[in-house]
Amino acid sequence: MSILTPEQKTLFDQLSKDRQQNADVLEKRSMRGVKLRVIEKYSESAQFIYELLQNADDVKATHVRFVLNQSGMLFAHNGTVHFSITHPDSEESDTQYQRLGHINAITSIGNSNKYEAQIGKFGVGFKAIFQYTNTPEIYDPPFCFKIERFIVPIWLDTDHPERQANETLFYFPFDNPAQPAHQAFQAILDKLKNLTHPLLFLRHLNQITWLADQNQGCYSKTIIQSLAGGKEVMTQQLLNQTPVTTRFLVFTGPLSVSDQQSPQFINIAYLMWEALPPISYQHTFPAYCFFATKETTQLRFIVQAPFLLTDNREGIKQGEAWNQKLIQAIAQLTAESLPQIKKLNWLTDAFFNVLPLHEPDFPTEHPFRIVYDTVLETLQSHKALLPTPEKKAITRQQAYLAENPDLLNLFTSAQLSELMNHPDAHWVFPKTRHNNKILWEYIKTHLVNQEITQDKVLKRMTKAFIQNQTDTWLMQFYTYLLDKPRYLKHKKEILRTKSILRLTDEQIVPAYNRAGKIQVYLPTDSESEYPTVKPCFLKHEKSKQFLLALGLDKPKDYEEIQYYILPRYQKNGEIEPAIMLRDFRKLVRYFLNCPWQKKAEYVNQLKTIPFCRALYQKKKCATCRISFISILNR
């Protein structure tokens, strides 16, 4: 074992004497409460385990081990920064300039500056071990000592037999009468079995092993790969050979502090799962200060920073400028992670569920309200971050939300642009539905130009727009309307007077005129005077059903005769022989097939109408016609 130098031995003796004097004060009846408040500040048992891990990471350990039995607990690590000691008379300045010796710190009560306190440099947190022991032992040659009376270092002449080479070892005998040994054993065992992501945010430590009678376990951390400015980190817990693996996408940001302070970092960590995108949004997480606190964030990802914590290290101190600076940096890091998520092609509808969306969860006074505001500001900026059906991201200025997925599938981006008179309009959030109320309202309220409903589509749909569409698209449009019977029922009158029908001659017209008279008919087997829709729509079953639902039918023979054929012969002017022949056939067909009750009326109507040009002395008569009834009588 290494031997103390004379200077180290002198400093140790001076420190021990100084701490004995302090212990005399602490043990006065008027001061006993100070010790109890320090020891019992944690609401959870064995919380000191996290303090030991923090201290090990601070001295650059990569591996720690716990050995637990009914009489005590051994803790050892392979840190490369070893115990030091400084003069007790210079502790104030040594603390200020980060020169305070480790033995000085571990035998003090809260004698560390505010930044070191966050990384566990033997601050008050270490004192929680005195819930279970009265005489913790430390072995880091040349320093081997135990602590008595809470703060007094006592020299030990021999090394611990279980300390391995290059290890720093702590041994905690269960000798506190207030905590029976079996209770101490069980409390620590339960904590070792249930550490919450203990390695995720530590800078050096990547493995924890523990052994306790018939139980054993291991925690490990592996950086799988770098991903678009972040790192995929896998943590694994092995409890009695049963593994539980968890993956995170971790982003790290530097934090600006004064030159006198050690570099500080903040992190956000997205929990990953097997689905695509591989970011889970099922849980909210507390804030982390290297380990989980009890400070609720309402966030669905983990935020970690060297916060100033309350005395029991369970909450973040409110109103501290330092903490506010950290949360602002976290908000910015969250916003900066979004373009990185985009690079991974994970910026989908589902990913947005992990973001802070529900404003009532973040009232103005909420410490993490700025995360909500910064994310919203970023999404509303000119950065292309909103997902589209084309698998590309766009800005809010281009974004439109479809009331239902059928609308989104019916109108392409080009059609949407024409409909909305926007040069580059796109649908966004193609997988989001109304049943996801929080995300839907967030999108509709904050992230799009407007929500496009069926009514808005119908209102903005012009004759020119329909003219530009193919017959196939019109069939899809008619099918869309037919498949919404309630909408079709309530909007039938509007649809009847909207120019959405294509005729045989390619004109676009409404089914009814403004007077409520039908003006479009279904095509007939023979030529008709009536305007009829293109035959292709009748061959498409859904389109045919839609046209029938609008009230379209084949033209009636008598109506065609009355409104189209007979008026033609009441005017002066030449009529093509082919038209005359066609009209004659229709007149005869109706005469032969009309109900007997109407035949007399029909005949009387035809008597006075000149129908055919007459031949006079085998020459065409240009001035006379004979009536239809005259022909029949002959």
Mean pLDDT within 271-300: 94
Task: Dump pLDDT digits (tens) for 179-215.
Answer: 999 999 999 999 999 999 999 999 999 999 999 988 9
Burial 533-571 (b: 16+ CB within 10 A, else e): bbeebbebebbbebbebbebeebebeebbeeebbeebee
Pick from 528, 523, 475: nearest CA to 500: 475
d(CA 361, CA 178): 43
Residue-level pLDDT at 597: 83
β-bridge mates for residue 215, sequence order: 212
Work out the angle between the directed axes of helices 321-343 and 369-379 (0-180°, nearest 10).
30
Pairing mode, strands 168-173 and 399-402? unpaired
Distances (CA, A) of 132 to 31, 561, 629: 21, 108, 122
- Which token pair is 29? 């009846």
Residue-level pLDDT at 29: 87
Mean pLDDT within 59-64: 97
* 3-state SS, residue 11: helix
511 φ/ψ sector (left φ>0, alpha ψ -120 to 50, else beta): alpha
d(CA 97, CA 407): 66
Distances (CA, A) of 21 to 7, 28, 48, 134: 21, 11, 26, 18
Q: What are phi and psi of 328, to 5 degrees?
A: -60, -40
Mean pLDDT within 254-265: 70
d(CA 346, CA 342): 6
Which residue has 């909007």 as its token pair? Answer: 491
Task: Dump pLDDT digits (tens) for 241-252.
Answer: 889 999 999 999
Residue-level pLDDT at 111: 64
Q: Say which amino acid occupies 528.
A: S
d(CA 495, CA 511): 8
Does 120 have pLDDT greater than 70?
Answer: no
* Percentage with pLDDT > 70 across the chain: 92
Residue-level pLDDT at 606: 80
**Per-chain mean pLDDT for the chain:** 90
